[in-house]
Structure 1
Amino acid sequence: MSDELEPIEPDEAVQMYLHERRPEVASSTLQSHEYRLKHLLRWCQQEDVDNLNELSGRDLHRYKLWRQEDGDLTKASLKTQMDTVRVFVRFCESIDAVVPDLHEKVLSPTLSGSDNQRDVMLESERAEEILGHLRRFEYASLEHILLRLLWRTGVRAGGVRALDVDDYDSDEERLKVQHREATPLKNKDDGERYIALTTETCTVVEDWLAYERPDVIDDEGREPLLATKQGRPHISTVRDIVYRWTRPCQYGSGCPHDRDPDECEAEKHGHASKCPSSVSSHAVRRGAITHFLTEDVPEKVVSDRMNVSQEVLDQHYDRRSEEVKVEQRREYLDEM
């Protein structure tokens, strides 16, 4: 242990960290970090760690194993948890609470290639962080309305891109998703449906239409709901926005990979997908579906809203743990 370290209790360090981040991030981001770090505080209490000066790389590895077992976490969930711990430990270095460079010993699972791609999703906590940041700093922007519609509706990226201004019904608070030759849906006519929106989402849509949406038409003479100055955005533009805004550094969470922004390849135009933490629009859809199911929305309702069969939903989209499923069944049966 370095003689220059100043003793500090874990809880005090966490409070200092949250106070430091409060002006920099949206409240949803701060709440998510506080939630994740509460687990670290539980572990410290359980292991009698009352001074962070004592924390070592081996301790952090033990915490990682404990957190995975304690929470029955997926690989992606554990990565999110440990990424936040790394950012916190790096802050602790700056206040002489832990040994220098300790954050480099906080190891997160690596999600790359085809490894568990069917399990990769945007988790609820991260989605709320992103939307909270957009609401505070980029309200009613193209990025805000795109990410909000993808998360709140679970529609495929191509389906959101296909929407026209006239597909939004402010009186009924809903969208009409339609299959058209120039903007086809994956399931064609079978993909057509109405999607109910919350009042809050409608407010964002209406503010976008009133104040931010460029007054343009596409090559078909239609008015795209999502629009750039050039017209309807290309699907690659939609996907790139998702990759950019799921990078933690984009919404104020700091880089969990300890990269230099000036040298990070994911900072280059069109290379946001190179960030290990960024996810695709399909991962956003998978996360939205899992979120709806976790909130006890019936599978049939989710199936109809997201335009996916219940069989495919079970096989490829539902990423709830078996522990969550059994507790939901228990609550349902207890109410009968």
Structure 2
Amino acid sequence: MTRSPSDLTPRSARERFLDECRIDSTDSTIRSYGNRLTPFVEWCEAEGITEVGDLSGWLLDEYRRSLTDDAPVTVKGKMMAVKQLVGYLERIEAVEDDLEDKVPIPSLSAEDERSEVKLAPDDAAKLIEYHRNSVAMRGTAQHAMLEVLWFTGCRMSGVMALDLDDYDEEKGTLRFVNRPQTGTRLKNGNDGERPVAVPPQVVEVLDEFIARERPDKRDDHGRRPLFSTRQGRASDTSVRSWCYLGTQPCLYTSCPHGRNREICKYRKRTHASQCPSSRSPHQIRTGSITWQLNCGMPIEDVAERVNSAPSTIRRHYDVATGEEKLEERRRNHIGNLSLSKDD
């Protein structure tokens, strides 16, 4: 048994911190914290740091300096996670006072702050066109997921939280509701609740998905998820797999990496994330936000749809090139989102 908080190992401290986060954070947020803190724990173990009471400003700076192979934005993300961990340890009196203030957080340029990897609007249009015109893929979970993520710009936690009753076919809306008591908390809690309208073509796809492909299953709380599997509500693993498989460019063109699609291992669910051109839910969201802005929607309207502050969108999500901004955003506000004149 640990004699005092300062005797905690870095690994045990990480687990206690994550347990506290579970009180008011989504599962995906907790996993993000865990993933960012794992390298710190492993570094501590490699350096022989067995008790968090031994941590110091010097050691924290040494850890930051060890992250030489990471991109600047990745380094900042990891150090922000360490700062939150140290803040928790400070509150339980496991480390010296004010150690949190000694965690070095790198300053980044505006370009470094942004994640440049996204599902490009042109690629999204081709992928959606492929799925809509494919006899085999139209109306599948993979297709419906891509349509919802692209046309709403929602987070993965948001799409996982959707129930069948949150979809209103007549109004053409999806309603995002915070339900932490039954397993689906939105990232911003009740502030994340909102209805989001989608184009008629998306409604048609969702109707086909629900009628033909969606397993009629309930989750562990008796709710009927919009995106379900044979086991119940779709997990984040399922959502990611559908996204990775649904965004591979070899669906509509030759492989940009010179691989043979017929024998490529990246086509398999277990390896789809390794495809250099496949995109995660977050990268679809990033591309969607850029595209919605390019369509002429005011940033305040986009912010409301995707549940993010305009300042956050400008800083982290708006990754349009200068050419895109000049050519697309000087057009008049078109009032709707369209992949083509028919949408």
Q: Per-residue deviation at 1:154?
A: 0.5
For residue 140 of structure 2, what is the amino acid of its counterpart?
Answer: S
1:226 corresponds in structure 2 to: 227
| More deviation, 266-275/216-225 | 266-275
1:197 corresponds in structure 2 to: 198
- Cα pair 1:265 1:274 within 8 Å, conserved: no
Could you give the per-residue CA deviations for residues 68-110 of structure 1, whole angstroms, max 9, x where no partner exists? xxxxxxxxxxxxxxxxxxxxxxxxxxxxxxxxxxxxxxxxxxx
2:173 corresponds in structure 1 to: 174
- Cα pair 2:168 2:174 within 8 Å, conserved: yes
- Cα pair 1:289 1:302 within 8 Å, conserved: yes
For residue 240 of structure 2, what is the amino acid of its counterpart?
Answer: R
Q: How does 1:9-24 map to 2 (within 5 A)?
A: none
1:151 corresponds in structure 2 to: 150
Could you give the per-residue CA deviations for residues 185-235 of structure 1, whole angstroms, max 9, x where no partner exists? 111111111101212211221222223222111111000101122221111
SS of the counterpart of 1:118? coil
SS of the counterpart of 1:119? coil
SS of the counterpart of 1:135? helix
Are residues 140 and 332 of structure 1, via their aligned partners in 2, closer, same or farther at CA, if it must alter by over 3 Å?
Answer: closer
Could you give the per-residue CA deviations for residues 228-277 of structure 1, whole angstroms, max 9, x where no partner exists? 2222111111011111122222x131211112457644244411121111
What is the root-mean-square deviation of aligned Cα atoms in Å?
2.2
SS of the counterpart of 2:204? helix
CA distance in 1 between counterparts of 2:152 and 2:213 reads 21
Q: Percent identity?
A: 39
Normalising by structure 2, report the TM-score: 0.59
CA distance in 2 between counterparts of 1:125 and 1:219 reads 39
For residue 124 of structure 1, what is the amino acid of its counterpart?
Answer: P
1:246 corresponds in structure 2 to: 247
Are residues 229 and 328 of structure 1, via their aligned partners in 2, closer, same or farther at CA, if it must alter by over 3 Å?
Answer: closer
Are residues 254 and 215 of structure 1, via their aligned partners in 2, closer, same or farther at CA, if it must alter by over 3 Å?
Answer: same
Are residues 274 and 117 of structure 1, via their aligned partners in 2, closer, same or farther at CA, if it must alter by over 3 Å?
Answer: farther
Could you give the per-residue CA deviations for residues 121-150 of structure 1, whole angstroms, max 9, x where no partner exists? 101111111111211221111111100000
Are residues 323 and 239 of structure 1, via their aligned partners in 2, closer, same or farther at CA, if it must alter by over 3 Å?
Answer: same
CA distance in 1 between counterparts of 2:240 and 2:327 reads 35
CA distance in 1 between counterparts of 2:116 and 2:147 reads 22
2:126 corresponds in structure 1 to: 129
Q: How does 1:39-54 map to 2 (within 5 A)?
A: none
Could you give the per-residue CA deviations for residues 157-181 of structure 1, whole angstroms, max 9, x where no partner exists? 1211110011011222211101112
How many residue pairs get aligned? The number is 218
For residue 226 of structure 1, what is the amino acid of its counterpart?
Answer: F
For residue 173 of structure 2, what is the amino acid of its counterpart?
Answer: R
Are residues 244 and 331 of structure 1, via their aligned partners in 2, closer, same or farther at CA, if it must alter by over 3 Å?
Answer: closer
SS of the counterpart of 2:300? helix
SS of the counterpart of 1:195? strand
Could you give the per-residue CA deviations for residues 45-66 of structure 1, whole angstroms, max 9, x where no partner exists? xxxxxxxxxxxxxxxxxxxxxx
SS of the counterpart of 2:170? coil
1:273 corresponds in structure 2 to: 273
1:3 corresponds in structure 2 to: none
2:81 corresponds in structure 1 to: none
CA distance in 2 between counterparts of 1:143 and 1:284 reads 13
1:183 corresponds in structure 2 to: 184
For residue 187 of structure 1, what is the amino acid of its counterpart?
Answer: N
CA distance in 2 between counterparts of 1:296 and 1:238 reads 29
SS of the counterpart of 2:196? strand
Structure 1: gaps (5+ residues): 1-114
For residue 208 of structure 1, what is the amino acid of its counterpart?
Answer: F
Are residues 222 and 290 of structure 1, via their aligned partners in 2, closer, same or farther at CA, if it must alter by over 3 Å?
Answer: same
1:120 corresponds in structure 2 to: 117
Verify: 1:236 aligned to 2:237, yes or no. Answer: yes
CA distance in 1 between counterparts of 2:242 and 2:292 reads 23
SS of the counterpart of 2:221? coil
Are residues 143 and 331 of structure 1, via their aligned partners in 2, closer, same or farther at CA, if it must alter by over 3 Å?
Answer: closer
CA distance in 1 between counterparts of 2:154 and 2:132 reads 20
Verify: 1:288 aligned to 2:285, yes or no. Answer: no
| More deviation, 240-249/203-212 | 203-212
1:142 corresponds in structure 2 to: 141
